[in-house]
Structure 1
Amino acid sequence: MRARLSLGKRGSVWTTAVRTPVGACSAVLLVLVIALSVLAPLFWGDGAAVVDTDAIGQGASAAHPFGTDALGRDIFLRTLVATRLSVGLAVLATVIGVGAGVVLGSLPAVLPRWAARLLTSAIDIAVAFPGLLLALFFAVIFGVGTHGAVLAIAFAMAPAFARLVQTLSASVAGRDFIAAARVSGVGRIRLLARHVLPNIGEPLVVNATIGAGSSLLAFAGLSFLGIGVQAPDYDWGRLLREGLDGIYVTPVAALAPAVAVVLAGLAFNLVGETVAAVVGVRSRAARRASGPLPAPRPAVAEEPADDAVLVVENLQVAFPRAGGWTVPVRGLSFTVRAGEAIGVVGESGSGKSLTALAVSRLIELPGVVTADRLEFAGTPVEQASDRDLGTALAMVFQDPMTSFNPARRVGRQLAEVSEQHHGLSRRAAFARAIDRLTAVRIPAAARRARQYPHEFSGGMRQRAMIGMGLMGAPKLVIADEPTTALDVTVQRQVLRLLARTREAEGAAILLISHDIAVVSQTCDRMLVMYAGRIVEDLPTGSPAQHPYTRALLATTVDLDTTRDEPLAVIPGRPPEPDQVPDGCAFAPRCPLASERCRTEDPALARAGDGHRVACWHPQVSVLSGRSRKEGAA
């Protein structure tokens, strides 16, 4: 039976969000506010307008829960009826303010440079003033009354949204697809409308929802000051002012509109938080997939050894998409024994890093990980505790600069591992962090532990990342491209460090790399991945049989490579994860492909002692001459 390790729920993300405490409260309050806005004037509009000279200025009673005003009108009914005007004006002001802010924030991208600087400076000055002060200023300009208050609040909130649009636009403007659009000749206005604004729409919606609550409070403030809604109309701010006039006689009269303002403002803010949570999920997956997960393609599993640290059988990683699933990792089976070093090679997009994240239980929703068997140190991964994984499995990520928190000192980040997983005190954990930095050959470890990641060189950050993995007693170290972006000397130091870690700690190593020569020099065994599958599993130094492995070997450059000949390349490109053909995925690029290769997908089967290959036409080849010579040396 297949185990599902990370399950994305099939229900709507909105349903999931509403089930949270914040989402439930926001939904209840929002439904209440909308219902009162629509129904209250219909049911209680006439009752709220009834003047009763015999009940002027009364306190709370059974007939009037919050008392009556100076004309004997029921304050509770008037508060309910005022919901429509109060909420409607706040929403209208928000729409105008957001629209004006988007326009002002977008104009610098299309205006001449001098005009853009002038407009940006004006926005910066406006943002420096409190919003209510700007609203009062604009209220004087637009005049007293409902229309003036709406415009005043809208233009008071516009500068903040303009600044937000400028900031978000700047974060998007430096991306490659924007540069590509510019190179292709897309005009400024079209670039802004088609490429920039659609990519910043979600945070704008979230901030607009929260901003509606602020507009509601600002509108109530203007009406309270007498420059908002005028008689005979009334909103919560006007009712609050009338209630405060007699607060020493009937203090309860001010309670109903005050509570209404607070609850409605809270509703808008909680809805904003819920929308933000939903947007965060939808940014990772626009829609949930429908239908069952596809069955993994078969592979001959190895017989797990008694000392196996990691056992993987038919591992599959799937992500939902509209109308189905995208499966970038398709039925992997392999075993890592204690103290063994295994390299995983393949082109970008072959599923190497996803495999490492899956066995580390780091695939996040909405991704789904399934496997017939996935065990670490004899325990199913889905049942292992975070403490067990955190101490026995170490992950060295590809870019340590993004893996370290730039705002915290390196030593404290390493110490946090022992504090959380080993229960050490703050001082003892920091002392162990210094010891681990020393173990990975970082000079002056005590001083370096008190420095920030940006004060480390690239090689030192990578060594510090390895040191973080050694804070426990790892049985397996997964190194995902640990030598990427490092010069050759530092690469060699990092690889030697991993080898020493293997010898000193007895830890198994799972090394992910693009460089097949590096793997052939440092690992006992090599897994070759293509289009989400292992196409060959062979001991290092054994003859390669799969055409893809031989093609990778042919592209390896060494000192014996003839400079007069063009560099070897693999024609074509790997298939997209959702466009894998029915037959062998490598067939469109393989010179040996036959009709059978295009229609039948070969299973990973045994091809010798410790050797497995998935190919209908395996041929014998050997590893590069460089690896053989260096291995002999």
Structure 2
Amino acid sequence: MPRPTRHPRSPMAWISAVMLTSLLVLAVAAPLVWGTAADRPDPFAVLQGPSAAHPFGTDNLGRDVLARVLTATRPSLLPALAATVLGATGGVLLGAATAVVGPRARRLVAGLITLLLAFPALLVAMFLAVVFGAGAGGAVLALAVAGVPGFARLAQTLAAAVAGTDHLAAARVLGLRRHRLLWRHVLPNIAEPLLLAATTAAGTALVALSGLSFLGLGVQPPDYDWGQLLNQGLDRIYADPLPALAPGLAVLYAALTFQLLGEVLARRVAGRDPAPRTPASPPAPSGPAEEGLVLQVEDLSVELPTPDGTIRPVRGVSLALRPGEIVGLVGESGSGKSLTALAVADLLPERARVTRRTLRLLGADLATMTPKQRDRHLATALATVFQNPASALNPSLRISTQLTEAVRAHRGASRARAEAEAAEALRRVALPPALLRSRPHQLSGGQRQRVMIAAGLMVRPALVIADEPTTALDVTVQRQITRLLGDLRRDTATAILFISHDIALVGGFCDRVLVMYAGSVVESLPADRLADGTRHPYTRALVASVPDLTADRDRPLPTVEGAPPDPLATAPGCAFEPRCPRRRDHCAEQAPPLGDLDAVHRVACWYPVAAEVVVS
């Protein structure tokens, strides 16, 4: 199989790479190529302006300014990098130690960091440069010490998130010493943002070091760097500006290089810039609307670019929901269920590319709307209940604020009216209105999930997308959540798209079920047929894997053999073929379409299981 084509790097990545390479080449080669010209005085060419022989003129000893600027690359960069490494090392160790020391020591270290941050870093560097003595060594130490508080505070903040993790608690239980906790469990988990901070700090250190040399506190004659060259050319800036501008431009170029490099690395780490985004053509209008549908989706596909190639986690999905209908979307993890819902709600990341033949919500074609119109239509006609309400709710805002935002923004309700509606929404989900004054961390998992449902009720949506709303909840709370959604459907005729990997829960709660595998719908059937009427081998295997109280406890529970396919290694045939016990040669050659078995049952399989066969 051919290797996936890698996406080209972004223009900013190429620019930063070229600029960084040029600095490295100059740092190595400039002293060898221009070192002699930079140090050779010429009494007959003293203080000359720009010429063909000397593009940036000469200094007071007749030495070529351009050669000196190029040769000064190494003595300008190395001390700045050394100061950054020393400052980052000291600051990171100081800040990260707060995650492994005791409470008293943690408070003392945190207070020390806060105290050090009260002093401006540049003033501290200038003061320490005088204390340590003028020279490159003193300037490096001064900048390193001045940079410690900033890195310490960043490391302290990042380490605080690691301090409460289960893996660190488990390591403490094992009796690991503090230095092992620091090196093995804390630093590896905060290394990436610290590396990005160090990259941008290198540019700041370069500017600060040049400033100290300009003031006579850094590199001392006969050695020189860009800051000292800038000082030497300042006296003649009005007569011949180029000798003064040349080292200044060099400082600007190097500082900009580090800033661009940090920005590129940050985008890479965040996954926001794997490749330049090609402008997409405006989507074509959707197909004809079908009467009486809340949601109409036909041939929906999602493409995501990755460093190893483009993947299609959703392929040709079609679904429709009528008022008051509950449709279940079920499948293994990675089958594309959540991405399908996010595509419908227009919540996919910017780099994702969505194609469809039809996408209508309440009969309105989302493709023909402006972004502002689409956002308003989705905000008022659709509500999403996310899998993890702890992260979906803003921890810094009260529940009242989060419930009333949508109605105040889209319906112009007053604060008093919005709070009254929020109290009523909480009553409808069996929560007391007193919780409006609470914050998310003060609620249990089941209460937070009910608050998410209440937030959706505030805009009176026609469609609710419940993405794994009962995951990580005990069975009692699961039953409460499903009963609440059922009451919502009965009272308001709201359509519900219920996403889950629990096929038993879906079968008992939904009206219809769509089974997804590898990004495609492989079977669509009424929920009452799940027990003994499934026809696709994958659906049969999912149903058979549901624990049964009558099963033989001496035998292991049945599972779906094999693993889902690699999204990058696409094959022409049926995606389930490597795991299917009924596979034949034709299955590996061509993917089966989703065909009708009867008016309400569709299956994508060349050789579906007979209806009367029950897999034990």
TM-score class, shorter-chain normalisation, is 0.7 to 0.9
- Pick closer, same or farther for the CA change 1:562–1:28 going to 2, 3 Å: closer
* 1:354-393 equivalent positions in 2, closer than 5 A: 354-384=339-369, 385-393=374-382
Partner of residue 484 from structure 1, selected from 453, 459, 471: 471
CA displacement at 1:478 relative to structure 2: 0.4
* CA–CA distance in structure 1, aligned partners of residues 481 and 565 of structure 2: 32
Partner of residue 466 from structure 1, selected from 443, 453, 463: 453
Is 1:94 the counterpart of 2:80 in the alignment? Answer: yes
- Pick closer, same or farther for the CA change 1:503–1:267 going to 2, 3 Å: farther
Alignment partner, residue 283 of structure 2? none
* CA–CA distance in structure 1, aligned partners of residues 348 and 299 of structure 2: 16
Alignment partner, residue 442 of structure 1? 431
Residues 418-456 of structure 1 deviation map (CA, whole Å, 9 limit, x = unaligned): 233333344443443333223322113xx3112110111
CA contact (8 A) 1:29 1:263 kept: no
RMSD over aligned Cα atoms: 5.5
Alignment partner, residue 207 of structure 1? 197
* CA–CA distance in structure 2, aligned partners of residues 120 and 97 of structure 1: 28
Residues 348-396 of structure 1 deviation map (CA, whole Å, 9 limit, x = unaligned): 1111111111111111132222222222222333344101111111111
Partner of residue 544 from structure 1, selected from 534, 545, 557: 534
- Pick closer, same or farther for the CA change 1:259–1:451 going to 2, 3 Å: farther
Deviation larger for 221-230 or 602-611: 221-230
Alignment partner, residue 66 of structure 1? none
CA contact (8 A) 1:308 1:337 kept: yes
* CA–CA distance in structure 1, aligned partners of residues 458 and 68 of structure 2: 62
- Number of residues of Structure 1 aligned to a counterpart in Structure 2: 575
* 1:169-184 equivalent positions in 2, closer than 5 A: none
CA displacement at 1:474 relative to structure 2: 1.0
* CA–CA distance in structure 2, aligned partners of residues 537 and 429 of structure 1: 40
* CA–CA distance in structure 1, aligned partners of residues 573 and 353 of structure 2: 24
- Pick closer, same or farther for the CA change 1:72–1:120 going to 2, 3 Å: farther
Alignment partner, residue 299 of structure 1? none
* 1:412-431 equivalent positions in 2, closer than 5 A: 412-431=401-420
CA displacement at 1:72 relative to structure 2: 9.2
CA displacement at 1:408 relative to structure 2: 1.1
- Pick closer, same or farther for the CA change 1:337–1:153 going to 2, 3 Å: same
Secondary structure at the aligned position of 1:557 is classed as coil
CA displacement at 1:472 relative to structure 2: 1.3
CA displacement at 1:531 relative to structure 2: 1.8
Secondary structure at the aligned position of 2:209 is classed as helix
What letter matches 1:620 in structure 2? A
Alignment partner, residue 501 of structure 1? 488
Is 1:328 the counterpart of 2:295 in the alignment? Answer: no
* CA–CA distance in structure 1, aligned partners of residues 288 and 559 of structure 2: 34
* CA–CA distance in structure 2, aligned partners of residues 94 and 332 of structure 1: 55
Alignment partner, residue 597 of structure 2? 607
Q: Report sequence identity in percent.
A: 43
Is 1:556 the counterpart of 2:546 in the alignment? Answer: yes
Is 1:528 the counterpart of 2:515 in the alignment? Answer: yes
Residues 555-600 of structure 1 deviation map (CA, whole Å, 9 limit, x = unaligned): 2235x42353535322423323424544333233333333333433
What letter matches 1:450 in structure 2? R
* CA–CA distance in structure 1, aligned partners of residues 17 and 413 of structure 2: 43
Residues 590-623 of structure 1 deviation map (CA, whole Å, 9 limit, x = unaligned): 3333333343322110011211011213321599
Structure 2: gaps spanning 5 or more residues: 1-5, 48-58, 173-177, 281-286
CA contact (8 A) 2:267 2:273 kept: no
- Pick closer, same or farther for the CA change 1:491–1:193 going to 2, 3 Å: closer
CA contact (8 A) 1:289 1:323 kept: no
Secondary structure at the aligned position of 1:517 is classed as helix
TM-score, structure 1 normalization: 0.72
* CA–CA distance in structure 2, aligned partners of residues 303 and 622 of structure 1: 39
Secondary structure at the aligned position of 1:600 is classed as coil
Residues 62-87 of structure 1 deviation map (CA, whole Å, 9 limit, x = unaligned): xxxxxxxxx9999xx98x99966887
Secondary structure at the aligned position of 2:464 is classed as strand
- Pick closer, same or farther for the CA change 1:225–1:118 going to 2, 3 Å: farther
- Pick closer, same or farther for the CA change 1:511–1:263 going to 2, 3 Å: farther
* CA–CA distance in structure 2, aligned partners of residues 383 and 325 of structure 1: 27
- Pick closer, same or farther for the CA change 1:234–1:429 going to 2, 3 Å: farther
Is 1:144 the counterpart of 2:134 in the alignment? Answer: yes
* CA–CA distance in structure 2, aligned partners of residues 622 and 343 of structure 1: 24
Residues 107-144 of structure 1 deviation map (CA, whole Å, 9 limit, x = unaligned): 7999xx99xx9999999958853444654575467542
Is 1:619 the counterpart of 2:606 in the alignment? Answer: no
Residues 465-517 of structure 1 deviation map (CA, whole Å, 9 limit, x = unaligned): 01111221311110001111112221111112111222222211000012222
Partner of residue 501 from structure 2, selected from 514, 539, 551: 514
Alignment partner, residue 317 of structure 1? 302
CA contact (8 A) 1:127 1:160 kept: no
TM-score, structure 2 normalization: 0.74
CA contact (8 A) 1:27 1:271 kept: no
- Pick closer, same or farther for the CA change 1:105–1:225 going to 2, 3 Å: closer
